[in-house]
Structure 1
């Protein structure tokens, strides 16, 4: 892994889900995805701490976290309130809430994409690759 490799922040409260996502990304056929450094946070507070101390290229953001709704973090990132002075990462909302108003709320909050749970490994890799290609 080099300094040029992308960095992904996975914000997910379920440890098993974090483990699975990391395994899928580590085995991806796309080098940029496979070689990415994956950081994780199990809460909004932990995510804010990570984002204040380092640049990330992509945030995979669960919406339902123990300390609040992921959309609040997306809004803070969009407004430059988190990670001040750092570049804004792409943010993909990851949620089982798939109603049109949920998608609209995620986009309005500043998310750049949306991934429905449950999702296939190939869909996760495709979304990550798409957003990393924009960095």
Structure 2
């Protein structure tokens, strides 16, 4: 996530990090970011469960859908399918570069 943070800060974007999935869900409920970059392997709650909880929170509060993008080292099709089934909108495979992240942001939130 250090690379993503550096790229986002270089684009003058505010970054809020969570150390685990439960904290990510809590932060989402308080901050309502423009996009969520979700690491798939976090302690306490993985990215799939966190995405499901974010979608449930949006539904319960009547909020518009926020793009959630999985950050994962796995490029296997079944892993991408699991991300979509959990409510994620896209997958960014690590390692990625600045151009890939900027393209993703333009597609989902920050034109």
Q: Does TM, scored on the shorter chain, surpass 0.5?
A: yes
Band of TM-score, shorter chain: 0.7 to 0.9
Give the unaligned 5+ runs of structure 2. none
Give the unaligned 5+ runs of structure 1. 1-16, 28-33
Structure 1 residue 133: deviation in Å? 4.1
TM-score normalized by the length of structure 1: 0.72
Q: 1:98 to 1:73 in 2, by over 3 A?
A: same
Q: Is 1:122 matched with 2:99?
A: yes
Map 1:54-73 onto structure 2 (within 5 A): 54-73=31-50
In 2: Cα distance, 1:87 partner to 1:69 partner: 23
Q: State the match for 1:21 in structure 2.
A: 4
Q: Is 1:53 matched with 2:30?
A: yes
CA-atom RMSD in angstroms: 2.1
In 2: Cα distance, 1:26 partner to 1:121 partner: 11
Q: 1:47 to 1:125 in 2, by over 3 A?
A: same
Q: 1:83 to 1:22 in 2, by over 3 A?
A: farther
TM-score normalized by the length of structure 2: 0.85
- In the TM superposition, what whole-angstrom CA distance separates every residue of 1:38-68 from its partner, at most 9, and x where no partner exists? 1111111211221121211100000001113
**Number of aligned pairs?**
111
Which of the numbers 106, 109, 123 marks the counterpart of 2:86? Answer: 109
Q: Is 1:78 matched with 2:55?
A: yes
